[in-house]
Chains A and B, each alone.
Chain A
């Protein structure tokens, strides 16, 4: 059965810390992996990854995919309180499968 597992489930850090969020998957006919950020509203798109080893970067956020080991990481450097959110990973294979998310709290 296809599945997407995110870890950790929750994380509390201090402003300025660097965090790494993980998303591992077992999906038939992998097509893409997507990262979303969800605050107190709808998820907003961060990255789409389709190829191994190519880092996607947006400001302090970056992500990379390893299709051999079947996982992706999302890095956030110099965290700010505004980064507090649930980070969702979704993988498209035959279907779009969502992970449970990692809840990140950044304390001042």
Chain B
């Protein structure tokens, strides 16, 4: 199946832990994003990588570190997790070089910090 996939779908962890969320797309897109959606359903962009290069880095605590090993993958590592990090994290991708603005979203990772 062609899609944007994320793992894990659910993540429950204690405050202070370090965790990673993985994202992969097989759509041939050149740009990938991480979004955070909080309980109020506001979708907030965090990072964007184009061809493995960081192009958007919104005001996000430096405990969040994205890593793009190749164009098809964008992982998100979070250090020292805090209660306020609890949210759904969505990965998305698009073909920016093709002039496309349509973003394809992964299924989301629901992170719960206890």
Contact = CB atoms under 8 A, between A and B. Distances in A.
B8 to A, nearest CB: 15
B42 A41 contact: no
Contact of A88 (B43, B56, B104): B43
Contacts, number: 43
Interface residues of A, number: 20
In this complex, the interface size class of chain B, counting residues with CB under 8 Å from chain A, is: 10 to 19
A90 B105 CA distance: 14
B90 interface: yes
Given A41-B107, A95-B56, A100 B101 contact: no
A20 interface: no
Interface string A52-65: 00000000000000
A11 B102 CA distance: 26
Given A34-B103, A92-B101, 10 more contacts: A34-B101, A42-B90, A42-B107, A45-B103, A96-B101, A98-B42, A98-B45, A100-B40, A101-B41, A103-B41
